[in-house]
Structure 1
Amino acid sequence: MSSWRSWHRPLMVFAASMAVVFVVSGVGMVVDDRVLVGSPIWFKPLKFSASLMIYALTLAWMLSLAGRGRRVGWWAGTVVALTGAIEIVIITGQVIRGKRSHFNFETAFDGMLFNIMGATIVTLWISSLIIVILLFRSPMADRAAAWAMRLGAAIALVGVALGNLMTRATPEQEAAGGRSVSQVVGAHSVGVPEGGPAMPLTGWSTTGGDLRIPHFVGMHALQLIPLFLLALIVLAPRFTRLRDERVRLRLVLVASGTYAAVLALVTWQALRGQPLIHPDGATLGAAALILVAAAAGALVSLLSTTPAPTPAQGSADDTEKELVA
């Protein structure tokens, strides 16, 4: 495990700045009672700063483990930090102005800011893709750890890309003339107006689909799949099977496949205009299939691999082979 001092410096500085924005936004939630689209106006920079801080810290750690293309990785990480900073500056600036940062074409200036945000997200995605490629090309001693990072980062890329679904005009906006007429183009919610009843903390719609859910689920594979491996390592002293790297690798692959299936499920659910907390029979059936497949995969992973021989056993076997020879 590398020391945090060797982690990508620009991403670490960016993460520290996001911690500051998070605190400022928290204060804003307390002292500023303005509400925008049914939510406290400082809620968006609060959520974005927390998400970007975690994202930056995870990438900074992963880049410290990449054995190849360190210079390319440094530049890619730096671009992620710069584009993330531009994103949060625009979001916070629009909060100060009392304006929406996303989907806002009320004025030419608002539209320009949203287009800049779109360009920064595309640039951030491409830079993150470069980091993922470096992770796939870098050999690592622990295969389970290597694949936990690679697959977590790859699924996170899909999660970031799913955010593009929110920029499409809704049927109502298209009927009104699209961007040429409407002041707002794009939405988080599907099938219901923005700003309706929502879940606490997340702000996700409780009456319709919400495209922020697959975006969130996908992005945080970057942390959750490596954390799953960490849990296996912590449990290994108590469970003999988990001490075998081959077992941990198979469980990581099963967990990654299950996570990708869940991401597909919540995306399908949101696009059908269905609230996360009110699934229909089709959604529940698909979830049950995913659960059964995950359980079967975990069982096969635990039972199909014989424990690796201990050093003592290996030495005895080698000695016996030498005597026979």
Structure 2
Amino acid sequence: MALALHDTVRTRARTVERVAYVVAAVLFTSGLVHLVVLVASGATWEGPVSYRKAMTFGLSFGLTLAGVAWATSFLTVRRRNLLLGAFTVVSVVEVALVTMQVWRGVPSHFNFETGFDSAVSVSLAAGGAVIIVTVLGFATAAWRTPNLSPSMTFALRFGLVVLVAAMAVGAVMIADGVALARGGQPQLAYTTAGALKPVHAVTLHAVLVVPALAWLMRRTSWPERRRTRAIQAAALAYTLLIAGAVVVS
């Protein structure tokens, strides 16, 4: 009975992962399509209604969702299906709402001009809150999962902690932007929030880059101690990259 239940849980986990990977591929493809539209149309790359925004959201959410689905497959996470399922659904909602507003020719964030636009902005902020909760759940699990190699353990912990930082940066961007927009300064809201984009972008993808490096090193003949040191060096290099993004911001 216990074995059958375990097999059922594993089957459901694989199903949720497969759905996440498929959705990630669709979102990434959406980003590529909007890159083509942006280049072919000769439209501006700047501003809150540029096709660039639909492109970057599609590409970023596609990569992040795939990275989270893959990285968390190494972890022992209570209710992982629920967390990963919620992350997947919110990723779709975020990209869909941003893309819809781009095609409507109106800003997606910090836009309170109409009741509908306000609902979109609030929904995007609420989606960000859900993402923060799921990421915190995964990050906590990284300290509770046994039987992983030291190099992979360090990589997963680093990647997920940096992802939490990315979510914190996103929350600051939203909070500042909303306050300015509500205060009658929407253009300043876009400018202020946009200043943190480099930091947000760099921190967003550590969860894919560093664990992937640890996974690749498992294919080498290096002893575990050397692999761990290499991952620690990679984490330091990534931290310096983040610091550079902070300076740019």
Pair 1:111–1:144, CA change in 2 (3 A):
same
**Could you say which residue in structure 2 is the equivalent of 1:214?**
199
Pair 1:101–1:84, CA change in 2 (3 A):
same
Instruction: Answer yes or no: is 1:160 the counterpart of 2:167.
Output: yes
Q: CA deviation at 1:161?
A: 1.5
**Could you say which residue in structure 1 is the equivalent of 2:223?**
244
Instruction: Answer yes or no: is 1:135 the counterpart of 2:120.
Output: no
Instruction: Answer yes or no: is 1:64 the counterpart of 2:73.
Output: yes
**Could you say which residue in structure 2 is the equivalent of 1:260?**
239
Q: Which of residues 98, 111, 122 is equivalent to 1:91?
A: 98
In structure 1, the residue corresponding to 2:238 is in which secondary structure? helix
Structure 2 letter corresponding to 1:61: W
**Could you say which residue in structure 2 is the equivalent of 1:103?**
110
What does the per-residue CA deviation read over 1:134-187, in whole Å, with 9 as the maximum and x for residues that have no partner? 2321113422112212211111210222123323547xx96xxx5143344623
> By percentage of residues, which structure has more helix?
2
Q: CA deviation at 1:28?
A: 2.5
Structure 2 letter corresponding to 1:266: A
Contact kept, 8 Å, 1:105 with 1:184, in 2: the verdict is: no
Structure 2 letter corresponding to 1:65: F
Q: Structure 1, unaligned stretches of length 5 or more?
A: 195-209, 238-242, 271-325
Pair 1:89–1:38, CA change in 2 (3 A):
closer
Alignment of 1:172-183 (within 5 A): 179-183=182-186
Pair 1:147–1:79, CA change in 2 (3 A):
same
TM-score under structure 2 normalisation? 0.80
Contact kept, 8 Å, 1:166 with 1:188, in 2: the verdict is: no
Distance 2:119 2:188 in 1: 13
Pair 1:108–1:7, CA change in 2 (3 A):
closer
Distance 1:89 1:125 in 2: 19
Higher RCO by CA contacts (8 Å cutoff, separation 6 or greater)? 2
Structure 1 letter corresponding to 2:70: W
In structure 1, the residue corresponding to 2:142 is in which secondary structure? helix
Pair 1:156–1:188, CA change in 2 (3 A):
farther
What does the per-residue CA deviation read over 1:198-234, in whole Å, with 9 as the maximum and x for residues that have no partner? xxxxxxxxxxxx3111101111111221233345456
In structure 1, the residue corresponding to 2:190 is in which secondary structure? coil
Q: Structure 2, unaligned stretches of length 5 or more?
A: 1-13
Structure 2 letter corresponding to 1:126: V
Rg larger in structure: 1
Contact kept, 8 Å, 1:143 with 1:249, in 2: the verdict is: yes
Q: CA deviation at 1:117?
A: 0.3
In structure 2, the residue corresponding to 1:248 is in which secondary structure? helix
Contact kept, 8 Å, 1:6 with 1:64, in 2: the verdict is: no
Distance 2:94 2:149 in 1: 35
Distance 2:76 2:186 in 1: 48
Aligned length: 236
Structure 2 letter corresponding to 1:130: G
Distance 2:46 2:31 in 1: 20
Distance 1:229 1:66 in 2: 15
In structure 2, the residue corresponding to 1:113 is in which secondary structure? helix
Distance 2:84 2:148 in 1: 23
Distance 1:217 1:133 in 2: 21
Contact kept, 8 Å, 1:168 with 1:187, in 2: the verdict is: no
Q: Give the superposed CA RMSD.
A: 3.0
